[in-house]
Amino acid sequence: MPENAEKWVPLSLTLVEYPEGDHFGKLLALFSLSPFAILAGFAALILFRRDLHTITFFIGTATNELLNFILKHTICEARPMARSSLYTEYGMPSSHSQFMWFFAVYCALFILIRLHHMNNSSALESFWKIGLVCSCILLAIIVSFGRVYLNYHSWKQVLVGSAVGVAFAIFWFAITHLVFSPLFPTIVTWKISELLLIRDTTLIPNIMWFEYTNTRQEARARGRKLVTMKSQ
């Protein structure tokens, strides 16, 4: 290679290594990309829904990541296996575990406390709530286990990351529910909020059911109006 040739390096942020031929390890490596999928979901929701609670949830997620960065560079504990493709060599606490447990616990609290009237059957509503909560927790468990299995973190690093994520999720949900949410009606009246079409759906128990029923009613009303206009 010529001396003046440029050196190319991979973008290691999404690079996850697993033992060659280990299909279970490959599956866990795929699950470890869950935080990136969740962040993409946040971007889509904020762009198309522009709901203050979603924005606040995302701010909490970003703050949780900042907290992990500070803890990592304060404790400075090495990972169990050195890798040249990592963007940080520190492993305490596990950022993946902290991220996933923050997300899972916050979602669980939101579903159990804020989400109501998912459908007309209370039994079916309870079933879906339990299913959603268990799915979030199961995903967090799989990602956390995968970080140990793939030698990115020790059990101690994963457990500490999980504990920090759980604690911060409880704190952020409480402060959102008790402090931020009462301010949302005022924030949506700001000119910048009107310009960006930012809205507050806090008082609507289940926004999906609300939008579904209202869209159906509006579609029926417009359909009847269209039929009337054609018959005249």
pLDDT of 10 > 90? The answer is no
pLDDT at 225 over 90: no
pLDDT band at 13 (very low <50, low <70, confident <90, very high): low
Which tens digit of pLDDT belongs to each residue from 92-141?
Answer: 899 899 999 999 999 999 888 877 655 555 777 778 888 889 999 999 99
- Spatial separation of the C-alpha atoms in residues 108 and 129, rounded to whole Å: 9
3-state secondary structure at position 49: coil
Report helix, strand or coil for 199. strand
In angstroms, the CA 113 to CA 109 distance is 6
pLDDT digits (tens, 9 = 90+) for 48-98: 888 898 899 999 999 999 999 999 999 888 888 776 655 667 778 998 999
3-state class (DSSP) for residue 201:
coil
Residues 6+ apart with CB under 8 A from 159: 97
Where along the chain do its domains lie? 20-222
* 3-class DSSP state of 37: helix
For the cut 90, the answer to whether the pLDDT of residue 15 exceeds it is: no
Instruction: Tokens for 189, please give them.
Output: 């009246």
0.85 exceeded by pTM = no
With beta carbons less than 8 A apart as the criterion, state whether 34 and 100 touch.
Answer: yes
